[in-house]
Amino acid sequence: MNKTWIIAALAIFAAALFLPRLFSQPEAPTAASQYVTEVTDANFEAEVTNHDGPVIMEAYATWCGPCKSYKPVYHQAADAHHNEVKFVSFDGDLNRGIARDINLQAYPTTVCIKGKGADRKVTDSVMGALPPSKLESFIAACAAP
């Protein structure tokens, strides 16, 4: 009788664990904005340094949970404000040169870069996933002359 109870308990446990996964809907992929350019150590100069206007850059890592939740917020902002600033993002784990140049400390980080050519520099940087209202303020400050 003990074997029967153990087997029944294991069957119920297995069903409770696996049945929801069988009937759940897969997560919809996050729609990426056409206005966010992925930059690397190789194309950073062409995409950021040589760009004439202000640039907002998102540093992320593929393993970072807050980065995953921040991505749609950042991409929606890019859709709304692409005429004001250029939006770029980069994987800090794969592009250590950029990470070093901006003194990356945490993921995600949002950075404003202004200036021309060799005089371009980081003018503001915020660590953590920004709520939409804070990102809007950050964009406005970066877009201002």
Q: How far apart are CA 117 and CA 120, in angstroms?
A: 6
Residue 88 per-residue DSSP state: E
> Is 67 considered catalytic here?
yes
Q: 2 — phi, psi (to 5°)? A: -60, -40
Q: Which residues pair with 124 in a beta bridge?
A: 112
> Is 64 considered catalytic here?
yes
Which pairing describes strands 86-91 and 36-38: parallel, antiparallel, or unpaired? parallel
Determine which one of 64, 88, 129, 135 is catalytic. Answer: 64
Determine which one of 56, 67, 77, 129 is catalytic. Answer: 67
Q: How far apart are CA 85 and CA 113, in angstroms?
A: 10
| Residues labelled catalytic | 64, 67
